[in-house]
Amino acid sequence: MLKKLTQTDDFNQIIQKGEWLVDFSASWCGPCRMLEPNLEQYAKEGNVLQVDIDEFSDLTSSFNIMSVPTLLAYRDGQIISKSIGYIDLPEINNLFKQK
């Protein structure tokens, strides 16, 4: 499932259960646009939450996101791994195998 964050308050509720790949990105970011097809492919079997850093700057700042794209892998509300920059689909899948 591919979901776009619409309200900051929804973030914690969404990531609390199961595995979620959170994509901090921006529409003006070239590597973010390159990553999008991989996220769409991953979302066919996994959960992806897209966070626009310009729209949700407070949330972005709270996670100290300095570069995009930044991917945070969550399992039941806990960050288990992080990736900065473009990665391919096998690397996305490996984010959940790290812990």
Q: Which residues are catalytic?
A: 29, 32
What is the distance of C-alpha 67 from the center of its chain?
A: 13
Under a CB-based contact definition with an 8 Å cutoff, are residues 59 and 11 in contact?
Answer: yes
Q: CA-to-CA distance for 16 and 25, rounded, in angstroms?
A: 21
